[in-house]
Amino acid sequence: MTDHETLARLMADADVRQYDCYQCGKCSGGCPMADAMDLKPRGVMRCAQIGSLGRILNSNTIWLCTGCGACADRCPHDVNVPALIEEARYEAARRGLGRHDSEVLNKAFVANIKAFGRNHEMLLAGLYNVLALKPIQDMASVPHMLKKNLIGIKPNRIGATREIAELIERAEKWDDPMVATGRSQTPEVKK
Amino acid sequence: MKRYAYFPGCASESTAKSATLANEFVFGRIGIDLVEIEDWNCCGATSAHTLSSALGLALPARPLARAEADWPELDVVTGCASCYARLKLANHRVRADKSERYMVEKIIGKPYEAKREVLNFLDILSDPAARANIGAALLRRFKNLKAACYYGCLNVRPAEITGAENRENPMAMDEIAALTGAEPVEWGFKTECCGAAHQNDAALEARPLAGRILDNARACGADVILTACPMCQLNLEMRQGEYIRKREEKRTGKARFPLLDMVLPPDPEQAIPVLSITELLAVAMGAGGRRLALDAHFVPVGRLIAGALGGRESEAIL
């Protein structure tokens, strides 16, 4: 698949039409993360217009977007920029470009749910600090949280952990393009 | 008595301890019965959907399907903006798109029709009957308490999912807070993002998001920030000491070892307490500080309550 076709697919999946954007910049103006982004939301739309998929996939924007939706909410043409950013993030991960700490955290988070069915905050933070090589991040808060019983060793495990683990595996397979192409394109709708 | 199926969310079992205790107290007092969804699982929060769109829908759909099977006549309510956004999105997408419904049902292995609504606490507290019950249950009245109501982004956005009319200046929480005698302030950061999970994985970039919210609340004269989400609560409160320290370091040019934050609480002259809206209501309805575990807050709330209730009454609470 060429970059051109890939971009078209991302746009279709995100339900975004690049020429709806007339580059007014209201999205970047209201984006709380814009300061830290190397390609601001308006820039993402510009790259989509000129077909520069590579710049989008290699930007830190797709990893720093918080998904707060301020840009889409304020857009005079209802361009859903965060939906496009999300699709771009999936594509970057498929190409192995996701090396941001955000991916480390999200993977640890899902592993956590797979194991317990619910999020175990202490384990997640601990796992993340180790994997991302940030041993002292947030550690100053730990004594208070342990003392006040806000976090603890005991996981809040649910009964159906096996069901959840299988659910996660099925969902991940569903998103895998190799598996998806083998599936019927027109789903049978149950009555 | 009004009943809802209740999705507590993972934070309710750990860091949102005092808010959870307050929720139980408040809903008990105003005759709202929350029926916990059996064996609920994590909704995936801000993480699952960033990895896989199918997972981002399937995780919240499972407890919703369970609620639909067990309590078909009840709407679902949650006290966390992130859970709310995920549950509401799953509900919306399953309703709107048959192929998404097919996918979700295949993955969760259960039928799920999204027949009922997903609501947040602000929705159910704003209900006229609930508001009248709140008014009747109040035992204490706050004085000179200026409150900045912080809604967080996901309680209001995206509008096509939440149906929120005003995403820049919502008023639901302001109106509820005003019932207790607190004076809501006008401020600019009601629905600005706190940084959510990026406070962990992109700390350097995300810290200013929480910092700007704290600064604007103070600049607008607020004594307290009220929240409707445990994630917002944690981001504004737990990291406040660090933020104040860094701001002071910048101002004075003197650095301090970061782990000293462990033993030194944030400077009370500069720190701003953060409470959930239900904690404010619970205190006004007569709950004691121990019952609400008010001492679990990172930013001490004693001074705030003493100031707003006067000596004798605040002693009874703290």
Please compute the mean of the pLDDT values over residues A127-135 and round it to a whole number. Answer: 89
Q: pLDDT grade, residue A4 (50/70/90)?
A: very high
Same structural domain, A82 and A125: no
Q: From CA B270, how far away is CA A167, in angstroms rounded?
A: 47
Together in a domain, A88 and A117: no
Site of tokens 């407890």:
B63
Neighbours of B50 (CB within 10 A): 29
User: Under an 8 A CB cutoff, do A109 and B45 touch?
Assistant: yes
Question: Measured between CB atoms, does A131 come within 8 Å of chain B?
Answer: no
DSSP 8-state secondary structure symbol assigned to residue B226: E
pLDDT digits (tens, 9 = 90+) for A144-181: 888 888 888 777 788 889 999 999 999 999 987 655 54
Q: Quick one: A78 and A121 in the same domain? A: no
SS3 assignment, position B76: strand
Does the pLDDT of residue B176 top 90, yes or no? yes
Sign of CA dihedral A104, A105, A111, A112: positive
**pLDDT confidence tier of residue B317, bands split at 50, 70 and 90:** confident
Q: Kindly report the number of other CB atoms within 10 A of residue A10's CB atom.
A: 22
Q: Are residues A112 and A60 in the same domain?
A: no
Of residues A68, A102, A105, nearest to B193 (C-beta): A68
User: Which of B286, B19, B318 minimizes the C-alpha distance to B142?
Assistant: B286
Amino acid of residue B42? C
- d(CA B32, nearest CA chain A) in Å: 26
Position B260 confidence tier, pLDDT thresholds 50, 70, 90: confident
Which of the listed residues A39, A67, A94 is the one where a domain comes to its end? A94
Q: Is residue A185 part of a domain?
A: no
**B167 interfaces chain A, CB cutoff of 8 Å:** yes
Contact A86 B53 (CB under 8 A): yes
Contact B45 A32 (CB under 8 A): no
**Whether A64 and A24 share a structural domain:** yes
Same domain for A109 and A33: no
B contacts of A89 (beta carbons < 8 Å):
50
For B203-258, what is each residue's pLDDT tens digit? 999 999 999 999 999 999 999 999 999 999 999 999 898 888 888 888 888 887 77
A187: in domain: no
The alpha carbon of residue B37 is apart from the nearest alpha carbon of chain A, in Å, by 12
Domain residues for A162?
101-180
The residue out of A46, A61, A94 marking a domain boundary is A94
Contacts of A190 in chain B (CB under 8 A): 102, 105, 111
Domains and CATH numbers, chain B: 2-121 (1.20.1050.140), 140-317 (3.40.50.11810)
Q: Is residue A49 part of a domain?
A: yes
- Among residues B110, B123, B133, B116, the alpha carbon closest in space to that of B41 is found at B110
Rg, chain B, Cα only: 20
Tokens, residue B293:
């575990």
pLDDT of residue A180: 54
Tell me the CATH number at A55: 1.10.1060.10
Q: How many domains does chain A have?
A: 2
Reported ipTM: the value is 0.92
- Of B49, B108, B259, nearest to A140 by CB-CB distance is B259
Q: Identify the three-state secondary structure at position B77.
A: strand
* Residue keyed to tokens 């930007």: A59
Is it the case that residue A31 has pLDDT exceeding 80? yes
Which CB contacts under 8 angstroms, 24+ apart, belong to A123-131? A123/A155, A125/B200, A128/A101, A128/A104, A128/B200, A128/B201, A131/A104
Measured in angstroms, the CA of B116 and the nearest CA of chain A are apart by: 19
> B41, B194, B245: which to substitute to probe chain A, counting the most A Cβ within 10 Å?
B41
- As a whole number, the mean pLDDT across chain A is 89
Q: Decide if A150 touches B, using CB distance below 8 A.
A: yes
- A7 and A85 in one domain? yes
| Residues ≥6 apart with Cβ < 8 Å to B39 | A117, A158, A159, A160, B66
| Residue whose entry in the numeric block shows the structure tokens 């006549």 | B73
* Together in a domain, A20 and A89: yes
| Judgement on whether residues A105 and A82 belong to the same structural domain of the protein | no
pLDDT the model gives residue A66: 95
Q: State whether A53 and A123 are in the same domain.
A: no
Contacts of A132 in chain B (CB under 8 A): 201
Q: Encode pLDDT of B75-130 as tens digits.
A: 999 999 999 999 999 999 999 999 999 999 999 999 999 999 999 999 999 999 99
Residues of A in contact with B197 (CB under 8 A): 102, 105-106, 109
Give the single-character DSSP code of B11. G
Identify the domain boundary among A55, A76, A94. A94
Q: Omega before B158 cis (within 30°)?
A: yes
Q: Sign (positive/negative) of CA torsion B105, B108, B111, B116?
A: negative
Instruction: Give how far B43 is from chain A: nearest CA, Å.
Output: 8
Share of chain A above pLDDT 90, in %: 65
Q: How far does Cα A64 stand from its chain's mean position? A: 9
B52 forms beta bridges with none
Task: Using the predicted structure, report yes or no on whether residue B54 has a pLDDT greater than 90.
Answer: yes
pLDDT for position A179: 58
Q: How remote is the C-alpha of B210 from its chain's centroid?
A: 15
From edge to edge, which strands make up the β-sheet containing B2-7? B32-36, B2-7, B76-78, B118-120
Instruction: Kindly give, in sequence order, each residue whose CB lies less than 8 Å from that of residue A25, ignoring residues fewer than 6 positions away.
Output: A42
